[in-house]
Structure 1
Amino acid sequence: MILKERTESAELRTYKSLNARMDLARADQKQCDYLESGYEGEKIFDGWVEHAGEGLILNDLLFVTGGSHYQMDSLYIAPQKIYLFEVKNMYGDHYIEKEEWISCGAKTEVKNPILQLKRCESLLRRQLQILRCPLPVEAYVVFVNPHFHLYHAPLHSPMIFPSQWDRFSQRLKSIRMPQGLHSELAEKLLSLHVEKSPYERRPDFRYEELRKGIVCGGCGRLGMDALSRDQLVCVNCGQKERFKNSVLRSVEEFRLLFPEKKITSEQIHEWCGNIKNSRSIQKILKENFVRVGRSRGTNYEEKK
């Protein structure tokens, strides 16, 4: 049972938005690709684990224990133990030399996911002790990409490769979870989750430099154009969407990038590339947000 769904991080949503609206610097484009690849891998893992037993699944947890922040891709709470999964969507041939992980193609060192896993496992154990939870933790790095290969992998290492998942999942599928068991623990863990990570990066950008228009919810590119009175179509991929939904998505995107700016009909009309007319935008804002002020000073805030 999934108690916490996985969603795109604010950092990933920021990079995707900026990638559509400006030419990212090389380092920023690399970070954007890295975040997208990681999220795609995590969604693959979610598909694997969704039907694996009756355990309680918590995704995308960010904890602070002893002043240290740590992010966990997935926790699977079973009757007798807690499984911690670190998901990796790595590609290509790699090998291990001592404790260093090296890419065969580029001959460059990459982050050792085992060290990352051990750190998270240690901090999670400490947090469980604080909660007086006696359940042991069993931690694994799960590689989801079939085009990844690791030479010199230690025989008894906490790693699960794509070809091994089916066998491992049989262990989870045999789990029968009595109703209500560990639900209090799961709620406590959920309450410890913090939203904002101190490690999130954000490219430098200015409003004036960004391309205006509506980003397609399908292909992620600018190019939504009017198809009819209340419908838009993407000129790139052909996806259709109601005008209202496109505007509301654009407002959320604007708030993500510019949390300090006020939401006005004129501002959102410009942000959406002056598509249709400002009165249509104003009507949508009135229906979905709280109006503040009057006349030229009117702006809109989120309903509480």
Structure 2
Amino acid sequence: MVIISSSYHRPYSQELELLRILNRRSTLTEKQRNRLKQLEIGLAGEVFVDNKLKPYSEILTVIPDIIMQINHTHIQIDTLILSPTSIYLFEIKNYFGNYEITEDGYWLSPKHNYILNPLIQLERTQSLVRQLLAEAHVSVELLQGYVLFPDPSFTLYGAKQTMPIIFSSQLDSFFKQISSKLHNQFSQQKVIERIDYYRLVSSPFTKLPDINTMMIRPGVLCFFCFSPMTKSSQRTFKCTDCQKIESAQNALKRTYDEYTRIYQDHSTSLQSFHQYTDKQFSYSTIHRFLRNC
């Protein structure tokens, strides 16, 4: 069970990692570029909320990125907080610009396109979490769900005060308020145990992009600016652009990590990885490295 602490960093999704690699080593399709942008924006919002919560990590139990299957239904929770007195479920939407809720309850983007109502998604998730709480013999009345909009430029016209929505300007005061009560009113351990019971190791929502391996650019790329690196000595590589220097061992490991993500359905062959590095490592060096992996 991952719990946010002062040193916590939210991991990247498998899809985001792969799209980042492909963006550095090939030319993305328009659909892939849009998806990469969407994932980057979503992650930035989640990280922003994580950082807001870190000062309260000794009081609040903050569980990020929960994926569960309950009653044959998959749900994803961006952040779940167990405070001494309540349980908070957060759906984080890092929207920016002017959105609108029409009189009929439809949500419109800044370009006046209809989008899914996040409050419906929130209620669906809450209904399944209530079942989990009942199984843990914890009162379902303790559960509160909110949609968080962390971007300060976000405006939602037509929103009502009764809606379970928290805007960027309200985050600090809200987190301070829920961390002010210190007397425990329920067993957090029982809730954590039920989450572990339903939790999935891998996400069923992940759809990896199609990869044209013929379009992958080989070589060792800089860890900082992603420009090509070349061997500057027997033990170091140097970036051809920003001039950053990295040990050959680290460069080899990073390049291998990328390779295994791109070719995850294939076993690693000495020759193919040698080609992927643009022959900047000898066969003997790669062989020793793979033997120790």
Instruction: Calculate the TM-score normalised by the size of structure 1.
Output: 0.84
Question: Which consecutive segments of 4 or more residues in structure 1 shift more than 4 A?
Answer: 236-239
The correspondence of residues 287-298 of structure 1 with structure 2, limited to 5 A, is 287=292, 289=293
Give the whole-Å Cα distance in 2 for the aligned partners of 1:213 and 1:268: 10
Asked whether the equivalents of residues 95 and 151 of structure 2 are also in contact (C-alpha less than 8 Å), the reply is yes
Q: 1:94 aligns with which of 99, 115, 119?
A: 99
Task: Tell me how far 1:206 sits from its aligned partner.
Answer: 2.9
Give the whole-Å Cα distance in 2 for the aligned partners of 1:116 and 1:240: 47
CA gap 1:89/1:244 in 2 versus in 1, 3 angstroms: same
Percent identity, aligned pairs only, is: 27
Give the whole-Å Cα distance in 2 for the aligned partners of 1:107 and 1:245: 48
Give the whole-Å Cα distance in 2 for the aligned partners of 1:188 and 1:271: 44
Give the whole-Å Cα distance in 1 for the aligned partners of 2:197 and 2:223: 31
Give the whole-Å Cα distance in 2 for the aligned partners of 1:246 and 1:192: 39
Aligned residue for 1:283?
A: 288
Give the whole-Å Cα distance in 1 for the aligned partners of 2:251 and 2:32: 26
Asked whether the equivalents of residues 21 and 212 of structure 1 are also in contact (C-alpha less than 8 Å), the reply is yes
Q: Residue 49 of structure 1 aligns to which amino acid in structure 2?
A: L
The correspondence of residues 97-176 of structure 1 with structure 2, limited to 5 A, is 97=102, 98-104=104-110, 106-134=111-139, 136-176=142-182
Give the whole-Å Cα distance in 2 for the aligned partners of 1:117 and 1:55: 21
Worse-superposed segment, 56-65 or 122-131: 122-131
Unaligned runs of 5+ in 1: 290-304
What secondary structure sits across from 1:76 in the alignment? strand
Give the whole-Å Cα distance in 2 for the aligned partners of 1:73 and 1:126: 18
Task: Kindly report the root-mean-square deviation, in angstroms, between the aligned alpha carbons of the 2 structures.
Answer: 2.4
Aligned residue for 1:21?
A: 25
The correspondence of residues 1-304 of structure 1 with structure 2, limited to 5 A, is 2=4, 6-52=10-56, 54-97=59-102, 98-104=104-110, 106-134=111-139, 136-176=142-182, 182-219=188-225, 221-287=226-292, 289=293
CA gap 1:193/1:254 in 2 versus in 1, 3 angstroms: farther
CA gap 1:237/1:128 in 2 versus in 1, 3 angstroms: farther
Q: Residue 151 of structure 1 aligns to which amino acid in structure 2?
A: Y
Q: Residue 2 of structure 1 aligns to which amino acid in structure 2?
A: I
Asked whether the equivalents of residues 55 and 175 of structure 1 are also in contact (C-alpha less than 8 Å), the reply is no
Asked whether the equivalents of residues 42 and 87 of structure 1 are also in contact (C-alpha less than 8 Å), the reply is yes
Task: Tell me how far 1:236 sits from its aligned partner.
Answer: 4.8
Give the whole-Å Cα distance in 2 for the aligned partners of 1:174 and 1:190: 27
Give the whole-Å Cα distance in 2 for the aligned partners of 1:268 and 1:192: 38
Q: Residue 52 of structure 2 aligns to which amino acid in structure 1?
A: W
Instruction: Calculate the TM-score normalised by the size of structure 2.
Output: 0.87
Asked whether the equivalents of residues 44 and 144 of structure 1 are also in contact (C-alpha less than 8 Å), the reply is yes
Give the whole-Å Cα distance in 2 for the aligned partners of 1:177 and 1:9: 36
Task: Tell me how far 1:119 sits from its aligned partner.
Answer: 1.5
Give the whole-Å Cα distance in 1 for the aligned partners of 2:243 and 2:115: 39
Aligned length: 285
Q: Residue 61 of structure 2 aligns to which amino acid in structure 1?
A: L
